[in-house]
Amino acid sequence: MASLAPASFEEARRLAARVPREADAIEYRLDFAPGRISARALLDLDPRCAIVTYRTTREGGKFSGTAEEYRRSVQSAYDAGAVVDVEFESGLLGDEAFLPDRTRVIGSRHGAALSEARLRACLGHRVAAAKLVLTDPDNVAEAVACIARARRLSRETPIACFATGARGAVSRAVGLRYGGALTYGNVAEETAPGQIPVAELVEVYGARDRTPPERLFAVYGGDVTRSLSPAIHNAIFRRRGLPWLYLPLTASRPGAPRESPIAADLIALDGLAKNLQGVSVTNPFKTDYASVARADAQSERIGAANTFVRLRPECLDLSAHNTDAAAVRQGLERLGGSRVLVLGTGGAARAAVAAAVGFGKECVVAGRAPGKAAAIAAAFGIASMRIEDVDQARPDVSINATPLGASDGDRLPFPADALGPGRSIIDFVYRRGAETALVREARERGAKVVDGLEILARQAAGQAALFGVRDATFEEIDATLRSRP
């Protein structure tokens, strides 16, 4: 369903008009409104089921009124004909005289600790459906457990059980396929952390399909909520009629400095149905493959992997591969030039250096950590330089293998005079619906460009082949990416 947070009735009208037709219902989060909005008027905006919610500050919302004011607000919305969200912790649902006809009541509970006993106590109340939300879990296992929990607890009462925050996005994307009663997506601004837009829930994750996927795939990284990889691979699967699903999997918070959570996180997702078949690995885990997978010769040589593939159905035995290097090499083939500067010291940088060296280019690497840059240089037999001196390098091709450009206000990774005619850039970074500042500046100054979407599409074609779709092409994937808003 679509979740809206209008500040006024007029804004509610505008937002309701933008709700995709695939949404079954519309939730109006009236706790966001600074003034009163008539629930009766909201019901006339759209013929679909209208849910009115006053989320209290106790459970992460903005309603700060008294218990009596909360009761009156909920009662008024119900009397108007809306479905109402009533918090179990309010105590109202224990009063059988309150809303004696519970056919339009969703009972909800939001919290950082959702014990089995607490959840079962919630389900002891008579409601049409229950919504049990784990707020901002620390680890993937907690988020995935929400999906399994809905399947286990849902007997007579339909249950939606999911998690919020970046790590909770996976539970929102796949929950309905494993027994969840409903999931919430936004149309404009998020009404809760980690929400996925309604259009993406439907178009990318097939949220209206209640069939569990035969195979699971995922993109794994520090925060993958803005990743376009699910759109790429789910489109590839859909076009070929494959009952597979590709999910966003944001890494757990590490329990100790430099401890990689990757093994535990992938095991947790595989625990859903023992069918995790492939994983795209992104920043900052491309060099952590040894803790979970057996590297092929190329990944071992590069010292980084961006793709894991399951080897055996009976256990999560993975092989590690690198498709970034091939993507960079293809970009270099298009751009030409003989001198290459790689900025960065992570897995993407190692792949870029390997591509340049393997293609016979003169290459130098620079980064914020001089020791790491020197280590990469030594591994590949090239030179390194201080990041402060990159304006003296005068390369034909400058490769940005850092996160610079992903956020508003990031500085340019290269000096402006390195972006003019006769120069070329390759940018690993991409932004949804907009060019990075580096790409925009380079194009305006007359440089040749391989942008982040092109690198993404080229490496994704290699990943698709490893995942079992050998006929997926760069052109198909690039068209998918360029057609997205």
Residue 86's SS3 state is: strand
Catalytic residue among 62, 274, 286, 372: 286
Do the Cβ atoms of 376 and 365 come closer than 8 Å?
A: yes
- H or E element that contains 218: strand 215-221
Query: Distance between CA 419 and CA 283 in Å, rounded?
Result: 26
Closest CA to 178 of 165, 166, 160, 191: 160
Bridge-based pairing state of the strands 215-221 and 276-281: parallel
**Is 286 annotated as catalytic?**
yes
Query: Distance between CA 172 and CA 144 in Å, rounded?
Result: 10
DSSP annotation of 135: -
Closest CA to 94 of 63, 71, 66: 71
Query: Distance between CA 166 and CA 251 in Å, rounded?
Result: 9
In the chain the first and final C-alpha atoms are separated, in Å, by 21
DSSP annotation of 150: H
DSSP string, 335-371: H--SEEEEE--SHHHHHHHHHHHHTT-EEEEEESSHH
Tokens representing residue 240 in the block: 């070929």
Catalytic sites, residue numbers: 286
